[in-house]
Chains A and B, each alone.
Chain A
Amino acid sequence: MAIKTESFVLNFGPQHPSTHGVFRMRMTLNGEVVVDMEPVFGYLHRGIEKVAEERTYKQNIPFTDRLDYLASMSNNLAYCLAVEKLAGIPVPERAEYLRVIIAEMQRIASHLIAVGAFLNDCGAFMTPILYMIREREKILDLFEMVSGQRLTYNFMRFGGVSQDIPEEFMPALEKIIAEMPGFIDEYDRLLAENEILLARAKGVGILPKELAINIGASGPVLRGSGVKWDIRKADPYSIYGRFEFDIPTGTVGDCYDRYRVRVEEMRQSVRIIKQAMEQLPEGEVLTEVPLRLRPPKGEAYGRIEAPKGELGFYLVSDYSPNPYRFHIRAPSFINLTALRDMAIGWKIADAIIAFGSIDICMGEVDR
């Protein structure tokens, strides 16, 4: 006699250690296999886009810190670029270099957490991430030197950065940059051929190239699927046009490829920082901008290649001190579109790997 079976719905999350925040996957399961899945979120929605309409442009900088809080410096940068585009504010040369150095340090710090947390999801629980956190600490020490904060920095300003780097910054940065390639090699030795990672991530959660483009994926998710698209190269902002670096891409678009892309990007970031350190000029770091800045009527879309993908701010000004519209194009949010396609047909445990490989930050998804 055949046993009667039927699919059932499982609420995965919102409180669960592998959902990287408060995130729910409403899975329809056939035994252990995912047949349908719907991401449910909004638990961390603070209405930042609405709040920002009632604050001055400058008061909104700290709000951007609280989007992707693992890459606050990148958020600061994207917002400042959008406002500078809107109001036509020049940025001194030295500030541009400092921005690049700090944004790339931030990329390394964010990717360290992405890779570490991904390994956690794979089942290599806590050991790899502690290696990553060891190096991230040193980067946070640097950020603390320049901004006094370790998570929400509020460091960039329209027309530059809030203050010049202190004396002890450069020696510490040189030390990290000299050591970092060795650390990345160490991760590779430990992880690249690691049985846990290969068995869990190779061939799992494949995102084909065409689909990646169609769903508007960006960052390592898009590049992992083999699309050579990096805004730092495609549409160079700040002074990225002056540096030499490569765009690492994957081949099949599985979770392992996305992991590889992140590790390689850390090496490229080290390359960029080295060049920027050599060329760093002396001079001013901030253009004077009125506190109650009133950009001319109009709109601007400023974007950067944030660690998680294309982060853009669409601002509309009505010549008042507050933005008329403040829209955030959050990479984690749009990359989530791919999750259902990655997870269907795989087991629950694989859906978690696919989710981890997107590297989302709920602060940015919900905003």
Chain B
Amino acid sequence: MTVALSGKEIAPKLEKQFPGSVIESSEDSLLIKPESLLDLASFLKTTAEFNFNYLTTITAVDYRDYFEVVYILTSLEHNHSLKLKARCHDRKNPSLPSVFSLWRAADLQEREIFDLFGIKFDGHPNLKRIVLWEGFPGHPLRKDWQGGD
């Protein structure tokens, strides 16, 4: 079985390395500061204890007050996984650092989130719409999108 690592157990280890990076930890996930996302992700990927070499999925959820981007990381070697979350509160201009440099799996998935939620991923080399065409009005997976008929 893939062991879902407990956010509560990992949080102190990450806090020790990067003080102030974890906002909230629960049994199944870790909510982290957007600014420390890249450092944390890189640490989780390269440390032998975690070895999260596989990015299973990235997705976003619009909670109206903020966007939550969810990263599910897996280690194929240790067969464990971790759910990382980061929030963007700025609805006008939401942005997060891109994890493209760590996992190229983010390539198409970040583009999809950019297309459907309008969240910018800084550092993505080819951030443009993927399933909708250029000029499409708005970002349809936002809860306040008014484009359907």
A158 to B105, CA, bound (A): 31
Q: What 1/0 flags go to B116-149 for Cβ under 8 Å of A?
A: 1000000000000111110000001100000000
Query: Is A47 among interface residues, defined by CB-CB distance under 8 A?
Result: yes
State the majority secondary structure of interface residues on A. Answer: mixed
Do the beta carbons of B140 and A47 come within 8 Å of each other?
A: yes
Q: How many residues of B contact A (CB 8 A)?
A: 30
Query: Is B54 among interface residues, defined by CB-CB distance under 8 A?
Result: yes
Do the beta carbons of A235 and B56 come within 8 Å of each other?
A: no
Chain A residues in 8 Å Cβ range of B112:
333
A367 to B107, CA, bound (A): 17
Q: What 1/0 flags go to A228-239 for Cβ under 8 Å of B?
A: 010000111000
Do the beta carbons of B2 and A235 come within 8 Å of each other?
A: yes
A329 to B54, CA, bound (A): 14
Do the beta carbons of B76 and A337 come within 8 Å of each other?
A: no
Do the beta carbons of B108 and A336 come within 8 Å of each other?
A: yes
| Contact count band on A | 20 to 34
Do the beta carbons of B131 and A216 come within 8 Å of each other?
A: no
Query: Is B79 among interface residues, defined by CB-CB distance under 8 A?
Result: yes
Known interface pairs A214-B105, A215-B105, A334-B105; A49-B141 also in contact (CB < 8 Å):
yes
Q: What 1/0 flags go to A316-329 for Cβ under 8 Å of B?
A: 10000000110101
Query: Is A123 among interface residues, defined by CB-CB distance under 8 A?
Result: no
Q: What 1/0 flags go to A50-91 for Cβ under 8 Å of B?
A: 100000000000000000000000000000000000000000
The count of A-to-B residue pairs whose CB atoms sit within 8 angstroms is 77
Chain B residues in 8 Å Cβ range of A12:
none
Do the beta carbons of B108 and A337 come within 8 Å of each other?
A: yes
Query: Is B46 among interface residues, defined by CB-CB distance under 8 A?
Result: no
Known interface pairs A45-B131, A214-B103; A310-B56 also in contact (CB < 8 Å):
yes
A181 to B112, CA, bound (A): 41
Q: What 1/0 flags go to B93-110 for Cβ under 8 Å of A?
A: 000000000011101110
Known interface pairs A45-B132, A314-B70; A215-B104 also in contact (CB < 8 Å):
yes
Q: What 1/0 flags go to A213-232 for Cβ under 8 Å of B?
A: 11110000000000101000
Do the beta carbons of B116 and A235 come within 8 Å of each other?
A: no
Known interface pairs A42-B131, A42-B132; A216-B1 also in contact (CB < 8 Å):
no
Query: Is A366 among interface residues, defined by CB-CB distance under 8 A?
Result: yes
Chain A residues in 8 Å Cβ range of B105:
214-216, 334, 337
Chain B residues in 8 Å Cβ range of A235:
1-2, 79
Query: Is A169 among interface residues, defined by CB-CB distance under 8 A?
Result: no
Chain A residues in 8 Å Cβ range of B129:
42
Q: What 1/0 flags go to B68-93 for Cβ under 8 Å of A?
A: 00101000100100010000000000
Query: Is A301 among interface residues, defined by CB-CB distance under 8 A?
Result: yes
Q: What 1/0 flags go to B45-64 for Cβ under 8 Å of A?
A: 00000000111110101100
Since A234-B76, A327-B57, A336-B108 are in contact, a sample of 5 more A-B pairs with Cβ atoms closer than 8 Å, ordered by chain A residue number, is: A42-B130, A214-B104, A216-B104, A301-B83, A333-B108
A-B contact pairs, 23 of them (CB 8 A): A41-B130, A42-B132, A42-B133, A45-B131, A45-B132, A211-B104, A214-B103, A215-B107, A216-B54, A216-B56, A216-B103, A216-B104, A235-B2, A301-B57, A301-B72, A314-B70, A325-B62, A329-B57, A333-B108, A334-B57, A334-B108, A336-B108, A366-B131
